[in-house]
């Protein structure tokens, strides 16, 4: 798949340790224009729209998984604050991928499957593709 096949660039959002950077590297290696939007660090609920309406992929992860991937004492309050900041992005996501039990390759494959299935057409957040 090349970037010319997509209607818009891909933006990936999610809490810390959800796999955003790894997924973007994988998408870029397949010739897909993609970037991370570190929404969880921003007070701007629509930061993901900064450059227009992208194809928005949201990565979700549970607190316990973050603690395994990052730090055992990762606070519940910090996790909940990140989810609150990401609420707008998740509500408007074209695809949601739950990364808890997936390898980084499996996350990439699910994202690629979504992009092929949707032909890169943005759904505007009405019913996100759920890559469980």
Average pLDDT over residues 100-122: 86
For the chain, the structural domain boundaries read 3-125
Q: Give the mean pLDDT of 29-49.
A: 77
Supply the pTM of this predicted model.
0.82
Residues 85-100 have pLDDT tens digits of 899 889 989 999 999 9
b/e sequence 62-94, b meaning 16+ C-beta within 10 Å? ebebbbeeeeeebeeeebeebeebbebbbebbb
Which CATH class, in words, describes the domain spanning 3-125? alpha beta
pLDDT of 44-74, one tens digit each?
Answer: 666 666 666 789 999 999 999 999 999 899 9
Percent residues over pLDDT 70 in the chain: 75
How confident is residue 43, by pLDDT bands cut at 50, 70 and 90?
low
Mean pLDDT of the chain: 84
Q: What would the mean pLDDT of 98-112 be, rounded to a whole number?
A: 96
| Phi, psi angles (nearest 5°) of residue 59 | -105, 130
């Amino acid at each position: 798949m090349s970037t010319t096949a997509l209607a818009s660039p891909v933006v990936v959002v999610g809490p810390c340790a959800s796999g955003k950077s790894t997924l973007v590297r994988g998408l870029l290696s397949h010739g897909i224009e993609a970037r991370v939007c570190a929404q969880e660090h921003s007070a701007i609920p629509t930061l993901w729209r900064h450059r227009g309406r992208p194809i928005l992929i949201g990565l979700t992860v549970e607190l316990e998984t973050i603690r395994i991937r990052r730090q055992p004492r990762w606070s519940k309050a910090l996790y909940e604050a990140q989810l609150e900041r990401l609420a707008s992005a998740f509500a408007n996501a074209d695809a949601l991928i739950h990364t808890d039990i997936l390898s980084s390759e499996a996350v990439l494959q699910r994202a690629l499957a979504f992009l092929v299935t949707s032909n890169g057409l943005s759904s505007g957040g009405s019913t996100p593709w759920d890559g469980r």
